[in-house]
Amino acid sequence: MIARRIILMMKINLLLGLLFVGSVMAEVHNPLKPVEGFNMDQVERGRYLSRIAGCNDCHTPGYLLAEGNITEEHWLTGDAFGWRGPWGTTYASNLRIFVNALTEDQWLVVAHTLRARPPMPWFNLKTMHDQDLKDIYQFIRYLGPKGEDSPGFLPPEIEPKTPYALFPSPPK
């Protein structure tokens, strides 16, 4: 009798564990809804790349502090949080407006020739393979335009009116 209870408890624990893992996996990989005119494999890869490349860290409001728990409807809409240093204050642009105004070929040119102020890692963007850039482009186009433009660059002598992070001056 005791052995049967132990076996039953083990089966219940196994079942609960599988249900938990299944729910976590569903949360981690939430397939995007197919939209006509989009190659969904390319869109999914762009989604993955934008996540691991850290695009959301700056270009999605609150993403870092929420540990990534921001719904995709708000992804890549830019931010009014500033990044201030010796160069002045920069703001992460609204990629959903910016990229939707470009053709794929124009996006490739921008990505390969961009030189931006910190903290934008333009040097990493420049080294991405064309296919990766195309996938990111397709994902952003899939999301569609949303939101408003971010604040513009402020020179060093102008104090930002928005919250900002202060970068130290580089060592001399």
Contact 94, 149 (CB under 8 A): yes
Q: What is the pLDDT of residues 119-161, one digit of tens each?
A: 999 999 999 999 999 999 999 999 999 999 999 999 999 999 9
Taking the C-alpha atoms of residue 61 and residue 79, their distance in angstroms, rounded to an integer, is: 5
Angle value at C-alpha 67, between 141 and 28, nearest 5 degrees:
65
Q: Which residues of 1-34 are buried (b: 16+ CB within 10 A; e: fewer)?
A: eeeeeeeeeeeeeeeeeeeeeeeeeeeeeeeeee
Question: Which has the minimum average pLDDT: 11-15, 47-51, 85-89?
Answer: 11-15
**In the predicted model, is pLDDT for residue 28 greater than 50?**
no
Residues 6 or more apart whose CB falls under 8 angstroms from that of 170 comprise 86
Mean pLDDT for the stretch of residues 37-58: 97
Query: Stretch 88-106: mean pLDDT, rounded?
Result: 98
Confidence of residue 26 (pLDDT cuts 50, 70, 90): very low
pLDDT at 14 over 50: no
β-partners of residue 88 are 85
pLDDT value, residue 70? 97
* Domain ranges, ordered by start, for the chain: 39-166
| For residue 16, pLDDT beyond 70 | no
pTM over 0.75: yes
Q: What is the mean pLDDT of residues 60-89?
A: 96
